[in-house]
């Protein structure tokens, strides 16, 4: 779990990450992104949408084992984050870690 947290944080700090469910789902519909991360407590329809569009676009979807509050704090944000897309992991090894 800590490796995933660190991987997400490094990606947020050094790479290119899209935060927020609407923007994330929009990116997935366009086939953009390398990894979709969704909080375990995200509304079911958001989880379903993320998994559906990620699957269509052949992008890996990962259910984060924590709440959107946890995910927000891992990202270093003062707000909840239910969904995020990692477009470019930067210095993070998260894409390799979750394969």
Query: DSSP per residue over 7-41, as a string?
Result: HHHHHHHHSEEEESHHHHHHHHHTT--SEEEEETT
pLDDT at residue number 26: 97
| Domain edges within the chain | 2-91
pLDDT of 1 above 80: no
Task: Record the pTM.
Answer: 0.95
Q: Which residue has the tokens 């379903």?
A: 48
Please report which confidence band the pLDDT of residue 99 belongs to, taking 50, 70 and 90 as the band edges: confident
pLDDT at residue number 2: 67
Q: Please determine, looking at this structure, whether the domain spanning 2-91 carries the CATH number 3.30.1330.30.
A: yes
What is the distance between the alpha carbons of residues 76 and 53, in angstroms, rounded to a whole number? 26
């Amino acid at each position: 779990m800590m490796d995933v947290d660190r991987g997400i944080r490094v990606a947020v700090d050094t790479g290119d990450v899209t935060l927020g469910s609407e923007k994330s789902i929009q990116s997935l519909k366009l086939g953009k992104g390398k990894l979709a991360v969704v909080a375990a407590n995200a509304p079911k329809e958001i989880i379903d949408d993320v998994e559906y569009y990620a699957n269509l676009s052949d992008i890996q979807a990962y259910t984060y084992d924590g709440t959107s509050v946890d995910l927000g704090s891992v990202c270093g944000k003062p707000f909840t984050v239910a969904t995020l897309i990692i477009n470019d992991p930067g210095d993070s090894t998260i894409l390799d870690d979750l394969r």
